[in-house]
C-alpha cells in the first residue's frame, strides 16, 4: 500500500520505494501540517517534528496564533492571516478581502491517478500508483481546495496538483495558485537550478542556499531558455552517488515560479507553480481552477537517484503515443544544409544520399510555405510554396517514400509574420495592445492562441497540409517569447488569464493533432530548447534540445538536460563544421558520439561530405541501431563532466537487465598525461562478468565499478570513443 491514514494520529503516510511523506492534521481546527519527507521510514507517528509544543496550537493559546501560523510547517499555505512566508493560494472576494487559510475537511485514497483536464500530467493505473485527495476548506469563505498527491509504487516520485473550487456563493479572483509547497529545516543545502540562453540551454548551477528568497522563474510565456521549471535542494556534501536530494519539476510550459525561502532560524519553504506575477483568474461560483502538476523526487543516494526517478517516471508515465517505447527514426534535417534556399530537386538530392547511407527519414524544415524565402515573412500561411516545391508535398513525399525514406515537416503554428496573408486578413489574431506598436521578434508576432477561432483557423490549414501528403513526423517550433499580452476576447478584468489560456490553447492544439494523426511522431522545439519541459513531453516524446549543434557545447547542454530529462527525449544531430553557432570544428566521428545518446540524426548537406565522412554514416547508424536502445531505455550515469574537469566527458548507460553498458567518452581538451585517466563505472551487476570492447578484458561488474576503468589515451582535442561492455557467460 503506497498511501495510508492513521486515524489515531491523524497522519497520512505516502510511501514510494525509498521515500516517505507524512502529512498531519493538527489541532481541533484541522490545520494541515507537513510532518516529514525523506528516506523511507516505517513510522507514521512523527508529529513531534511539527514542534507543536514549542509554540502551542491556537486552541490552547490563541494569543499567539500569528506565530503559530508563521512557523507551522504547512502543506499548502494560504494568505493574509499570519503565515507571512510565501503563500501558495491567494484569492480576492468582491468586497476586496484578500485572506484565506486552509483546514482539513475530508479525504479520499484511491488507486491510480486522475487526469488533469486540459493539462499535461503524469499518468498511472492502480498497479502503478495511489492517490490521496485531501479536501481542504477555508471555513470563512466557504472555499474548497483539493490537494492531490500521487505516490508511485516503483519510482521515488510524488506528483502533486491543486484544484480550487468556488463553493463560496460569490465570484472570486485567484491571484496566486501554486502547485506544491515543501516546508522543512535547512540541512546544509545547496540549490541546483538549470539556467542558460539561446544556444546554451540548461547549464547546471549549484550554489549555497542563502537567507531570503531565491529560485527560478519565467515571465516569457514559455518555460524558456533562461530558466528551467526545476529546482533541487541537495546536501552540500551530496555527489552523484551520495547525499539527500529534494527536487521539484513543473509539468507546465508557460510562466512559472520555483522558489526557496530560508527564513527565521533556517527553516525552508520550497514552492513551485504558475508565476503569480501577471496571473489572475476569475472564478465564478461553481467553477473550479486546476493548477498544473509538480513532480517531487526525493533521493537519499545523490543526484543519480534523482535523475533515475525522473527518467523512469517520464519515460513510463508521462510520454505517450506510438513512439513511447519505440526506437526513433534516424533522420536528416535540411535546416543547416540549405536554410531557406532549396527546391524539390535539392531536397531529393539530399534524400538520395540519405537513403543510400541508410538514414530513415528526411525532415523538411522552415521555408516550404507561403512566400517564405527568409525569416521575414509568411508565418501563418500554411500552404505549400509551389514555386519551390511544384506538385506540393505530395510529389516530394512520394518521391522520398519511393527511395525508402519517411517524411517529416517543420511548422510554427503559434506565430504570424506581419508580412503574411493571415496577418493582412486577420491582424486582430496577433497579440497586441490597442494603440501600441506590437514588439516584433525575428520579425514575427505571436498569435492569440487563447482564442478558439484563432486555433481553429490555424489548425484547419495545418490539417489540410498534413492530409495532403504522407507526413509521419512534425517538428512544432515556437520562436519567440510573448509580449503585448492582451486579448480583445477577454474582459478588461480577465486579462490576467491570458498567459495561462495561451498555454492551454497550445496544449489543446497539440492534443487535437495527436488525435487526428495518431501515428505522428511529434517533436517540440522553441528556438532549440526554449520549451524543453515536462508539459511538452506529454505531447511529444522528444524535443529539439538546442539550436547549438556543436558537439562540444552539446556535451554541456545535454548533461544539464539529462539531469532531469531522459536521453530518449533529446533531439541530437551531427551537424556541419565549422559549427554554424560557434565556428568550432570537430571530427565527424566525435559529432556522432556526441549525438548518439539522443534521438539521432544529421543536420547538414549530405551531398557535401567527403567520402570518408560518408563512409562513417552507416557505421554511426549501426551504432544507433545497436546501442540506441541502451541509451533510450537504460539507466544513465554521468561519470565525468567536462564542465567540472575541463578535460573530458564520460557518460554511461546500462541496460535495465544489466547485460550491456555503453560508455560515451569525449576527450575535449587534451593535456599531457603521464598516466591515463581513471574512472569508476556504475550501474553494473557486481556479480556478472563483462567484456570490454576496447581492450577485450573481462572483469566482474564489481571490478569495473570499484577498481574502475582506464580511459584510452587519445592523441588530440575533440576525440572520442564508444566503449561497450557486454556481459559474458562465466
Ligand atoms: C528554430 C529551430 C531551428 C530551425 C529554425 C527554422 O530556430 O530551433 O531548428 O527549425 O527555427 O526557422
In the annotation, is 547 catalytic?
yes
Pocket test for ligand 1, best of 527, 543, 572, 580 (most atoms within 8 A of CB): 527
Distance CA 692, CA 332 (A): 32
Catalytic residue, candidates 128, 477, 553, 664: 477
3-state secondary structure of 349: helix
655 CA distance to ligand 1 middle (Å): 33
- The three-point CA angle 206-217-306 to 5° equals 45
Q: Is the CB of 335 under 6 A from ligand 1?
A: yes
Per-residue pLDDT at 1 = 83
pTM of the model: 0.98
653-658 own/partner pairs: CB under 8 Å, 24+ apart:
653/567, 653/597, 653/627, 654/630, 654/682, 654/683, 654/684, 655/629, 655/630, 658/683, 658/684, 658/685, 658/688, 658/701, 658/727
The count of other CB atoms within 10 Å of the CB of residue 716 is 8
Distance CA 636, CA 641 (A): 13
Q: What are phi and psi of 482, to 5 degrees?
A: -80, 145
CATH of range 639-728; options 3.30.70.260, 2.60.40.1180, 2.40.160.10, 3.65.10.10: 2.60.40.1180
**290: exposed, middle or buried (C-beta count within 10 Å: 0-12, 13-18, 19+)?**
buried
Question: How many residues are recorded in the chain?
Answer: 730
Distance CA 318, CA 292 (A): 14
3-state secondary structure of 408: strand
336 CA distance to ligand 1 middle (Å): 9
CATH of range 331-413+451-479+506-633; options 3.90.850.10, 3.40.50.1100, 3.20.20.70, 1.20.120.530: 3.20.20.70
Distance CA 543, CA 523 (A): 5
All cell numbers assigned to 24:
498531519
Residue pLDDT, tens place only, 266-285: 999 999 999 999 999 999 99
Q: Are 397 and 351 in contact (CB under 8 A)?
A: no
Distances in whole angstroms, Cα of residue 494 to Cα of each of 98, 284, 424, 486? 18, 12, 27, 10
Q: Is the CB of 603 under 6 A from ligand 1?
A: no
Q: Is the CB of 525 under 6 A from ligand 1?
A: yes
All cell numbers assigned to 237:
556534501
- In the predicted model, residues of the chain with pLDDT beneath 50 are none
Q: Is the CB of 365 under 6 A from ligand 1?
A: yes
**278: exposed, middle or buried (C-beta count within 10 Å: 0-12, 13-18, 19+)?**
middle
All cell numbers assigned to 359:
538514414
222 CA distance to ligand 1 middle (Å): 16
Q: Give 722's DSSP letter.
A: E
All cell numbers assigned to 433:
495592445
477 CA distance to ligand 1 middle (Å): 7
Per-residue pLDDT at 730 = 67
Per-residue pLDDT at 55 = 79
Q: Are 337 and 353 in contact (CB under 8 A)?
A: no
- The three-point CA angle 187-640-703 to 5° equals 100
501 CA distance to ligand 1 middle (Å): 25
Residue nearest to atom 7 of ligand 1 (CA): 527
Distance CA 281, CA 497 (A): 5
Looking at the structure, give the CATH architecture of the domain made up of residues 3-317. Distorted Sandwich (2.70)
Q: Are 724 and 693 in contact (CB under 8 A)?
A: yes
207-213 own/partner pairs: CB under 8 Å, 24+ apart:
208/236, 209/233, 209/260, 209/262, 209/268, 210/262, 211/262, 211/263, 212/261, 212/262, 212/263, 213/86, 213/259, 213/260, 213/261
DSSP letter string over 427-486? GGGB---TTSPPPPBTTBEEB-TTSHHHHHHHHHHHHHHHHHTT--EEEE---S---S--
Q: Where are the domains of the chain?
A: 3-317, 331-413+451-479+506-633, 639-728
Amino acid at each position: 500500500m503506497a498511501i495510508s491514514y492513521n486515524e489515531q494520529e491523524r497522519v497520512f503516510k505516502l510511501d514510494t520505494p525509498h521515500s516517505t511523506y507524512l502529512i498531519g492534521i493538527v489541532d481541533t481546527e484541522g490545520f494541515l501540517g507537513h510532518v516529514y519527507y525523506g528516506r523511507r521510514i516505517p513510522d507514521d507517528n512523527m508529529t513531534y517534528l511539527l514542534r507543536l509544543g514549542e509554540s502551542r496550537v491556537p486552541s490552547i493559546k490563541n494569543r499567539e496564533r500569528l506565530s503559530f501560523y508563521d512557523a507551522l510547517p504547512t502543506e499548502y499555505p494560504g494568505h493574509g492571516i499570519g503565515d507571512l512566508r510565501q503563500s501558495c493560494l491567494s484569492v480576492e472576494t468582491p468586497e476586496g478581502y484578500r485572506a484565506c487559510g486552509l483546514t482539513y475537511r475530508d479525504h479520499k485514497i484511491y488507486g491510480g491517478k486522475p487526469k488533469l483536464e486540459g493539462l499535461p500530467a503524469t499518468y498511472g493505473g492502480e498497479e502503478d500508483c495511489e492517490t490521496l485527495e485531501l479536501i481542504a476548506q477555508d471555513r470563512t469563505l466557504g472555499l474548497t481546495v483539493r490537494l492531490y498527491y500521487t505516490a508511485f509504487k516503483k519510482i521515488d516520485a510524488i506528483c502533486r496538483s491543486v484544484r480550487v473550487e468556488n463553493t463560496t456563493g460569490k465570484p472570486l479572483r485567484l491571484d496566486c495558485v501554486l502547485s506544491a509547497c515543501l516546508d522543512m529545516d535547512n540541512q546544509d543545502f545547496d540549490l541546483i537550478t538549470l539556467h542558460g540562453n539561446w544556444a546554451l540551454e540548461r547549464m547546471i548551477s549549484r550554489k549555497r542556499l542563502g537567507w531570503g528568497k531565491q529560485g527560478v522563474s519565467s515571465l516569457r510565456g514559455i518555460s524558456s531558455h533562461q530558466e528551467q521549471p526545476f529546482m533541487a535542494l541537495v546536501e552540500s556534501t551530496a555527489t552523484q552517488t551520495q547525499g539527500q536530494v529534494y527536487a521539484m519539476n513543473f509539468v507546465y510550459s508557460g510562466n512559472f515560479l520555483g522558489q526557496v525561502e530560508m527564513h527565521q532560524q533556517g527553516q525552508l519553504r520550497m514552492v513551485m507553480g504558475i508565476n503569480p506575477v501577471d496571473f489572475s483568474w476569475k472564478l465564478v461560483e461553481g467553477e473550479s481552477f486546476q493548477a498544473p502538476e509538480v513532480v517531487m523526487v526525493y533521493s537519499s543516494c545523490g543526484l543519480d537517484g534523482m535523475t533515475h526517478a525522473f527518467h523512469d517516471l517520464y519515460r513510463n508515465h508521462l510520454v505517450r503515443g506510438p513512439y513511447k517505447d519505440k526506437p526513433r527514426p534516424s533522420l536528416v534535417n535540411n535546416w543547416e544544409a540549405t536554410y531557406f534556399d532549396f527546391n524539390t530537386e535539392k531536397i531529393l538530392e539530399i534524400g538520395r544520399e540519405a537513403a543510400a547511407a541508410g538514414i530513415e527519414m528526411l525532415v523538411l524544415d522552415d521555408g516550404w510555405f507561403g512566400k517564405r524565402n527568409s525569416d521575414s515573412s509568411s508565418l501563418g500561411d500554411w500552404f505549400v510554396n509551389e514555386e519551390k516545391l511544384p506538385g506540393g508535398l505530395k510529389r516530394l513525399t512520394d518521391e522520398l517514400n519511393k527511395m525508402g525514406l519517411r517524411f517529416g515537416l517543420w511548422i510554427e503554428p503559434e506565430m504570424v509574420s506581419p508580412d503574411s496573408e493571415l496577418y493582412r486578413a486577420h491582424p486582430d489574431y496577433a497579440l497586441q495592445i490597442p494603440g501600441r506598436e506590437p514588439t516584433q521578434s525575428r520579425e514575427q508576432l505571436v498569435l492569440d492562441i487563447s482564442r478558439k477561432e484563432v486555433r481553429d483557423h490555424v489548425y484547419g490549414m495545418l490539417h489540410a497540409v498534413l492530409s495532403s501528403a504522407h507526413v509521419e513526423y512534425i517538428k512544432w517550433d515556437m520562436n519567440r517569447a510573448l509580449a503585448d499580452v492582451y486579448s480583445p476576447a477577454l474582459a478588461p478584468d480577465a486579462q490576467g488569464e491570458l498567459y495561462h489560456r495561451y498555454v492551454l490553447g497550445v496544449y489543446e492544439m497539440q492534443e487535437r493533432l495527436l488525435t487526428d494523426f495518431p501515428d505522428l511522431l511529434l517533436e517540440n522545439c522553441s528556438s532549440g530548447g526554449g520549451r524543453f519541459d515536462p508539459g511538452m513531453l506529454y505531447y511529444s516524446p522528444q524535443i529539439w534540445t538546442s539550436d547549438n549543434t556543436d558537439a562540444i557545447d552539446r556535451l554541456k547542454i545535454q548533461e544539464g538536460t539529462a539531469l532531469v530529462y531522459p536521453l530518449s527525449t533529446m533531439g541530437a544531430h551531427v551537424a556541419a563544421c565549422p559549427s554554424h553557432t560557434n565556428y568550432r570544428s570537430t571530427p565527424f566521428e566525435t559529432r556522432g558520439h556526441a549525438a548518439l545518446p539522443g534521438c539521432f540524426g544529421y543536420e547538414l548537406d549530405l551531398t557535401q561530405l567527403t567520402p570518408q565522412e560518408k563512409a562513417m554514416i552507416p557505421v554511426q547508424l549501426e551504432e544507433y541501431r545497436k546501442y540506441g536502445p541502451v541509451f533510450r531505455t537504460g539507466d544513465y550515469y554521468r561519470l565525468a563532466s567536462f564542465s567540472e574537469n575541463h578535460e573530458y566527458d564520460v557518460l554511461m548507460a546500462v541496460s535495465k537487465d544489466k547485460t550491456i553498458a555503453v560508455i560515451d567518452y569525449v576527450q575535449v581538451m587534451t593535456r599531457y598525461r603521464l598516466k591515463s585517466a581513471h574512472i569508476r563505472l556504475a550501474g553494473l551487476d557486481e556479480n556478472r562478468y563483462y567484456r570490454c570492447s576496447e581492450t577485450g578484458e573481462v572483469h566482474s561488474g564489481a571490478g569495473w565499478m570499484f577498481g574502475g576503468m582506464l580511459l584510452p589515451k587519445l592523441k588530440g582535442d575533440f576525440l572520442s570513443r564508444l566503449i561497450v561492455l557486454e556481459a559474458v557467460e562465466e
